[in-house]
Structure 1
Amino acid sequence: MDTVSVNVDGYGEVAVPAGTSAELVLEQANIEAASRPKKNAFPPLAVLINNELAPLSAPIGAPCSIKPVYPDSPMGTEVYRRSLCFILALAAREIVPSRRLTVSMAIGNGYYHYFDDNEPVSAQLLEALSRRMRELVLSDLPIRIVTRAWEEALEYFKTSNQSDTLALMEYINDPFIQMNECNGFRDFHIAPLVPRTGLLSVWELVPYRRGMLLRFPHTKTPYEMDPFSDVPVLYDIAEEYEHKARILNAESVGALNRINQSGNIQDFILVAEALQNKKLALIADRIAEKSDKTKVVLIAGPSSSGKTTTAKKLAIQLKVLGFRPIHIELDNYFVDRSRTPLDKDGKPDFECLEALDIEYLNQQLLDLFDGKEVELPLYDFKSGTRKASGRKISLSNNEILILEGIHGLNDRLTPHIPAENKLKIYVSALTQLNIDDHNRVRTTDYRLLRRMVRDYNFRGHSAQATLGMWSSVQRGERLYIFPFQGSADIAFNSALDYELGVLKVFAEPLLQAVKPQHDEYPDARRIQAFISRISPISPQYVPSDSILREFIGGSVFKY
């Protein structure tokens, strides 16, 4: 029998028979390294084979490198969460086979689930689902990957009432389809799951609105549950988006593909843009209703949420109502670089609140509210100093300030401004577009695709560079944006139902340039696999004032 040499991260080289599973390779490596201390206290959930995420059951057929994926890593967290969604879908199929379970958005450390008949989840059903999931975990059942002919897989999804998965199958012409299987239940194989249900011991299933929240541990503490902290504004966005998706008849990737292939995508785009513009008009109306007290509109949101274009489009809607919006850039209120706080690596931390001259900003705002004229500052990034801009402004009865920046929702940015004079808007791209019935599009991936395309088009950055900095971007969001999202007066969802098809056109060749030896390769391959299931949409159909133009170029707005 042929043998292959495998380099196991942290343990060295082992020789195994060709076809040995990755899990058995790791076990052999552990046995050979028994005299050394364990590298991780947790069991592996999956594996990286030549830097590509794979299930532990993956056979090793050629010399390669292997790295275990543990639950206290971002990749391990995703494997754990997908696997929990799978066993919830399994339990729902066994207990209420006639009802179609759908996964929705992330709320805190949990995924919102509901049944598409819109009947609330009763306490009895919730308890039955929880009990069955616990039984599945205790039984430690294998979760296998099985391969079936396209026709057989199609027939299974028809009989099991998985309509979103059926729609996805229409864009797939592979002769064989991989499916996850456990206890007779099958689901479309999107990405690796854990090999056994017994590895999924920590979770909560709690009632939430008309559905339920499947909660899971934080990455840093993979076998401990954190207390639940609700963010109602996120649910409000989800509910509004869900209603919009029904109007557009596009609640999944497969449904979007159908519309695109039918030749109706241009009309679809126009309606999607009109719905978003209508929302901005409603926000402008609300600002107008409060204009007797509102002096400044604060706009904040995570990276690539479309804050800048949202601010510009909102300004137009305010002009329609007779206002004269004045846009103030918070970047011009940076303290001199010599006073900028340093991060843990000793580099200037321009994202922390202390990098801004809070007192100076607040004094200028108060002066404006008192009817005085102020000269706005201008920050010179080359010299790292602030100077006078020569731009002088004052507020009359029909003028209103718009401040856009990452700290807009944090009251520590404007501590001297009375609450009734502020209106805070949270902007994010919270897509409700699912891959199929039980697999969701990650909001962070949605924004990452936007960022990747914009970085390449306007900053000359490769996909590898964007992927490499993304974890740092997310850390900043967790510190400076997400803790304050619940304090927003208004939430605006900048996601457009069709944009993944457009972003695919730009992102696919960029991702192909990331190679197996790069640290960013696992994420590149994961996103490649995700967008491969989306039918491409021509960028020429995107209106010139669309938020999407902020990322792909060709906007009527200046940035």
Structure 2
Amino acid sequence: MDQHRTHPVHPSQPRTDVRLIFPDGSIYAAPLGTALEDFVTAWQAAATCSPPVTAVAIGEVIYELSHKPERDAEVVPLDLGHIDGMRIYKRSLSLVLVAAAHNLFPESFISIDHSVTANGFFCEVGGRAPLSTQEVEALDMEMHRLVQADMPIVRKRIPLEQAVSTFAAQGYQDKLRVLRFHHSPELDVYELDGIVDSFYGHMVTRTGCLQRFRLHHHESGFTLTFPLSEDPNRFPDETDFPKLMHQFREGHRWLATVGAENVGDLNAAIEDGSIRELILTAEALHERRIAEIATQIAEREGVRIVFISGPSSSGKTTFAKRLGIQLGANGLRSFAVSLDDYFVERELTPRDEAGQLDFEAFEAIDHALFTQDMSRLLAGETVTLPRYDFLTGRRVAGPHIALSPGMVLLVEGLHGLNPNLLHGVPRNALFKVYVSPLSQLNIDHHNYVPTSDGRLVRRIVRDALSRGYTAEQTIERWHSVRRGERRYIFPYQEEADVMFNSGLAYEMSVLKPLAEPLLLRCDHGSPAALESRRLLTLLSFFLPIATELVPDNSILREFIGGSIFEHLRLVGSSRT
């Protein structure tokens, strides 16, 4: 050993600062006790980053900007371009809306009912008549006043008894029903301008960063619209979706009919034993609606092709089979065709921005072959339909079929509503159905649960059961799936002749015990960890329901297994 070597090791004192490493490699240091907000402000100033940062991710955990880190870490600022950053932005503006409405209309309450396609929420006011156009304008001004004042949004942890008394005094009966099943002796709440509320997710620390929003009056309520995540300086184009909005309203009526307008109502039904009746009522509403759609098809002269489309995990396959049975009850026979069988050869499949095969793209379908086959069938010819082999990525010969008079084709697929899919066929020969779960049960009036969350939980359970995928794999694929929906499905929703709400008020309680073990297995260091934790938090509000209570013809069976339709094929055509 070299006796003359100088060693760099020397005694030291405990450090009094903390260092954070940002995604661009920059390192910022500050004394212990410095809030994340100060680090982010310094980083934004140097990086000339303008979109508001709503929180920070450290590993798999999201921290509000009031958090004071105690050790060095690599951090990811969450702005509006990040899905969690946008969620926090929307949630925080929801609190601003609640506070502004309380200031102007103290005897009423705000209900955030559901999303709208144009990146916003549809809201109503309860306890009084709907707001007028002038009142919505006044509400908008009051929200902007709270934002311009840069008021603090203070997070507190208070005893559960205090939360109950506070919410009772504010008239939040829906929150009291949820808190009946809250097992912790404490509850995290947020306070803004004298209003105390519970939101199940993170918030910004001050209102000043919430500059970008719009309020628009509607006949029965109003919309709160947010900027685009891809360009926070722009808002989505204002577009009316009358058919979709009607289905959302009908979905709320369904929830009222079954007696479960929020999670507290559902949990109460589970607890008091009335859940069987609730389940059967929800399923009866589905059956009645499917029968109505079948009758419309049977009574519309000349319908030969029924397109069934909708976003992922909507239950399209089971819906198609149940519709086929109901068509049979109306004297019509049907044959099921999957658009997936018209995928182009694997080497011709387009790729997305990341270079991955994009099966959601419109160009992934061989439109010319599909148009040719449908036209020949409608002309009375016998056609050999293709079958797509997902292992080889090639089409092979499928069944030889011919349509007899009075028969219809049920075509299920992502692009069924796209008017460019099929050419040369009269519109009156087509009937288009949009299928999606549009009545997701909210936690309470202020804590809206996106329908996409319900679909993701459905898909996680189904993928594990039937495809052997981990929850991590499904979550990591979900972004691409959602991108495809926004591009190829949602723009054509209003092309549908009818819409079917495939949501069930009780489904999250059935999915809960199946999904939770899958989510708990997610690798803590994976990109899916944040989403896994968020979904586990959502599921924690629901009491479980045994799968044995779910009828075997339910759309939910498509995801949990045990469907009576699993091996049923609609083959009511003439086959050769």
TM range (shorter): over 0.9
Alpha-carbon offset, residue 351 of structure 1: 2.3
Q: 1:231: Cα distance to partner? A: 1.5
Does residue 93 (structure 1) correspond to residue 107 (structure 2)? The answer is no
Task: Give the SS at the match of 1:238.
Answer: helix
Offset of residue 529 of structure 1: 1.1
What is the RMSD computed on CA atoms of the aligned residues?
2.0
* CA distance in 1: counterparts of 2:550 and 2:471, whole angstroms: 23
Rounded to whole Å, the distance in 2 between the matches of 1:134 and 1:379 is 54
Could you tell me whether the CA contact under 8 Å between 1:358 and 1:413 is conserved in 2?
yes
User: Residue 14 of structure 1: CA displacement?
Assistant: 5.4
The Cα shift of 1:40 comes to 3.2
Distance 2:355 2:143 in 1: 47
Q: Distance in 1 between matches of 2:230 and 2:352?
A: 21
The 5 Å alignment of 1:486-525 reads: 486-525=494-533
Closer/same/farther in 2, CA of residues 372 and 117 from structure 1, 3 Å limit: farther
Mapped to 1, the partners of 2:356 and 2:193 lie a distance apart of 53
More deviation in 219-228 or 255-264?
219-228
Question: For residues 45 and 338 of structure 1, do their structure 2 counterparts lie closer, same or farther at Cα, with a shift above 3 Å needed?
Answer: closer
1:438 corresponds to which residue? Answer: 446
- Whether the 8 Å CA contact 2:440–2:454 is kept in 1: the answer is no
**Residue matched to 2:491:** 483
> Where do 1:124-523 residues align within 5 Å?
124-290=134-300, 292-389=301-398, 391-523=399-531
* 1:40 and 2:53 aligned: no
**Range moving further from structure 2, 222-231 or 134-143:** 222-231
TM-score, scaled relative to structure 2: 0.91
Shift, 1:320, TM fit: 1.3
Number of the residue aligned with 2:84: 75
How many residues get paired?
Answer: 552
Alpha-carbon distance between aligned partners in 2 of 1:67 and 1:157, rounded to the nearest angstrom: 35
Q: Which amino acid aligns with 2:88?
A: V
User: Secondary structure of 2:75's partner?
Assistant: strand
Cα distance in structure 2, aligned partners of 1:299 and 1:118? 40
Aligned 8 A contact 1:6 1:66 in 2: no
Q: Which amino acid aligns with 1:551?
A: F
Distance 1:459 1:383 in 2: 17
Distance 2:255 2:38 in 1: 45
- For 1:431-483, what per-residue CA distance to the aligned partner results, in whole angstroms no more than 9, with x for missing partners? 24211111100111111101111111111111111111111111111111111
**Equivalent residue letter for 1:337:** R
Unaligned runs of 5+ in 1: none
2-structure distance, mates of 1:4, 1:477 = 46
| Per-residue deviation, 1:353 | 2.2
Question: What is the Cα deviation at residue 3 of structure 1?
Answer: 4.5
What is the TM-score with the length of structure 1 in the denominator?
0.94
- Once residues 15 and 160 of structure 2 are traced to their aligned partners in structure 1, the CA distance between those partners, rounded to angstroms, is 33
Offset at 1:124? 2.6
CA distance in 1, matches of 2:157, 2:204: 17
Contact 1:55 1:194 in 2 (8 A): yes
- The 3-state SS of whatever aligns with 2:480 is helix
CA distance in 1, matches of 2:389, 2:454: 32
Partner AA of 1:530 in structure 2 = L
Match of 1:24 among 38, 63, 67: 38
Residue 267 of structure 1, CA deviation: 1.4
Q: CA deviation at 1:117?
A: 4.4
Instruction: Give the stretch that moved more between structures: 334-343 or 353-362.
Output: 334-343
C-alpha contact 1:46 1:54 (8 A) present in aligned 2: yes
Counterpart residue type for residue 437 of structure 1: H
What per-residue deviation string (whole Å, max 9, x for no partner) do you get for residues 217-252 of structure 1? 010121332321122222111111111111112111
Identity %: 38
Q: CA deviation at 1:371?
A: 2.1
Tell me how far apart the structure 1 counterparts of residues 508 and 160 of structure 2 sit (CA, whole Å): 25
1:503 deviates by: 0.9
- Structure 1 residue matching 2:233: 3-state secondary structure: coil
Q: Is the 8 A contact 1:118 1:210 kept in 2?
A: no
Distance 1:72 1:553, change over 3 A: same
Between stretches 63-72 and 513-522, larger displacement belongs to 63-72
Rounded Cα–Cα distance in structure 2 between residues aligned with 1:368 and 1:350: 26
For residues 140-175 of structure 1, give each alpha carbon's deviation from its aligned partner in whole angstroms, at most 9, with x where no partner exists. 101110122111100111111112211111110211
- What secondary structure, in the 3-state scheme, does the structure 2 residue paired with 1:214 have? strand
- Mapped contact 2:199–2:447 kept (Cα < 8 A): no
Structure 2: any 5+ residue segments left out of the alignment?
1-13, 568-576
Q: Confirm or deny that 1:558 pairs with 2:566.
A: yes
Q: Is the 8 A contact 1:103 1:111 kept in 2?
A: yes
Q: CA deviation at 1:537?
A: 1.2
Distance of 1:195 and 1:492 partners within structure 2: 40
Counterparts of 1:337 and 1:127 in 2: how far apart (Å)? 53
What code does the residue aligned with 1:76 have?
A: G
Spell out, residue by residue over 1:194-229, the C-alpha distance to the aligned partner (whole angstroms, 9 max, x if none): 111111111111112300001110101213323211
Give 3-state SS (helix, strand or coil) of 1:413's partner.
coil
Instruction: Please state whether the residue corresponding to 2:423 is helix, strand or coil.
Output: coil
Q: Which amino acid aligns with 1:9?
A: F
User: Structure 2 counterpart of 1:482, which letter?
Assistant: F
Q: Give the deviation of 1:341 after TM superposition.
A: 3.2
Q: Distance in 2 between matches of 1:157 and 1:341?
A: 53
Equivalent of residue 68 in structure 2, options 59, 63, 86: 59
Query: 1:392 deviation in Å?
Result: 2.2
DSSP-derived class of the 2:237 partner: coil
Q: Distance in 1 between matches of 2:378 and 2:207?
A: 61
Distance across 1 between alignment mates of 2:48 and 2:559: 41
SS in 2 for 1:533: coil
* Secondary structure of the corresponding residue to residue 434 of structure 1: coil
CA distance in structure 2 between the aligned counterparts of 1:221 and 1:174, rounded to whole angstroms: 40
Give the secondary-structure state (helix, strand or coil) at the position aligned to 1:205: strand
